[in-house]
Chain A
């Protein structure tokens, strides 16, 4: 029985965790078909994006699993951010932007018109390129959204703030002045505060759009370490980066985008060692930026 079954459920998750495994990456579901529950945490099926009449992203099919980091790489302007913004429907905030295809998450299609946007965004957090803490204290930066979502009680909030800051490896640095403005922190700390703020909503997925591009190398390493720590708790991280070393250091799987097309995907180590597509190998060898 095990011999005939070409791929069992969870195969790609194992492939992701073990970079040495064979590249078993052919999409196993036909495009519009809904993947069976429990197979992947998040699956996009033929997701494409139009800004007006300009198709910025061609149909993209990818799977993401809990407890893994997926890096989205590619030259700038190739649609990485555009793809990322589909997953939590931030593209809906951009006028003239239309998203097609299906994004399966927890048994629902995020891209369906009747999906509860707010519920989805609470469970799929996002960290932006520029650190953007609110004009509030460190404490309130974290407690703000949970409060709006109904978490009450000083004690509960205190606990949530501490737990989130610990999750983002910021607690020890700020525990004595939680009522200082979040804006008063250094860039790297601000970015970790933004991660902590996202963690406070107990998300399943965190989307990061070049979170280190505004930071120095040391702050960058701290963020990368934070990402690995977060993922160890079972969260799925999807991180956009234009830095190949970063992708290699931090990610389990990588997807390469080029000119609005998802060209190749696979376990990071494998993809970097043996790129199949010429465009990816050109990109890796730095033949175009």
Chain B
């Protein structure tokens, strides 16, 4: 039955009821049928129009995004593919330390935020009694997730950099990014866990397993594709974050020496107490207080590299998520 048929039947159903009261006869129902047909036509037309408008809107958004990405990649592409640009120090116009800093910071952030958010999400979905306290916690997490990152950055500056005396350091940056990242990760993992059918949990519990065993051995394996996808996507956000880092991880990238394993030394790459400018912060700094001559070109190259990395993250998230999904559903 097509949509217009259905509308016509509905109208025809309604007609006799109305007709019986007023005493109107065949003419009335014939007219009603006409009205119904025209209504159906109009409905179909507005359906077409709505679909068209939506298609145009989506097209515009896609076009804008693609144009932006293409522009960024095009304007910095040649610079980005220059090996010496990617490996040399900022004093020589390169971004070598920034690349390492960005990845190291991301790694440390995930190292801190993954266990925390996993624990929080498990607690919220499996253990927390539903009540005002839990609702309150969930609301706080939501609020936290919409906190402007500059506020997080300044908070991190006051607490980690000043109060804890960590100075501008990777660890201060990682803590600030954790605050920024945690709410999103908790949400993602929470949703992934909640998406596992209730029957799975019940089955585990009904076999005499504890909630913990059920969560770890039944729910998490089922939720892992969604969790991994979410974590990688949030990694993209963290990777491109600047405002939260300007006052925590700092704006300088001292040269690092990969042969130095003295973790108290400022040039040791693994030293978490050294200041570490990331790619995003580098772009910000180049554009706000450029002292180098070809700042624009370096900035464009850095931006291109950053965007390329985030694209790779997103593609990886899809591929890995899908592969895990396949592995999980068909052993």
Contact = CB atoms under 8 A, between A and B. Distances in A.
Interface string B187-220: 0000000000101101111111110010001100
Interface of A: 88, 90, 93, 95, 117-122, 125-126, 128, 130, 132-137, 140, 144-145, 148-149, 179-181, 183-184, 194, 197-198, 201
A122 B208 contact: yes
* Interface of B: prevailing SS: helix
Contact of B203 (A134, A137, A181): A134
The 5 closest A-B pairs by CB, nearest first: A132-B199, A122-B208, A121-B208, A126-B206, A145-B207
Contacts of A198: 207
Q: Determine which residue in B205, B210, B222, B328 has the highest number of CB atoms from chain A within 10 A of its CB, and name it.
A: B205
A194 B203 contact: yes
Contacts of B329: 135, 181, 183
A28 B205 CA distance: 34
B146 interface: no
A125 B206 contact: yes
Contacts of A125: 206-207
Contact of B197 (A118, A132, A140, A145): A132
B207 A197 contact: yes
Contacts of B130: 95
A127 B222 CA distance: 20
B148 interface: no
A182 B197 CA distance: 15
Given A95-B129, A144-B217, A148-B213, A137 B331 contact: yes
Interface residues of B, number: 23
Contacts, number: 75
10 contacts: A90-B206, A117-B208, A120-B208, A121-B208, A132-B202, A134-B222, A135-B222, A135-B331, A181-B331, A183-B329
A149 B208 contact: yes
A128 B199 contact: yes
Contacts of B93: none
Contacts of A119: 208
Nearest to A145: B207
B204 to A, nearest CB: 8
Nearest to B206: A126
B330 interface: yes
Given A201-B207, A201-B208, A135 B328 contact: yes
Given A180-B331, A181-B331, A132 B200 contact: yes
Nearest to A200: B207
Given A132-B203, A135-B328, A201-B207, 16 more contacts: A95-B129, A118-B208, A118-B210, A128-B199, A128-B202, A128-B203, A132-B197, A132-B199, A134-B200, A136-B331, A144-B217, A145-B208, A148-B209, A179-B331, A181-B329, A201-B208
B16 interface: no
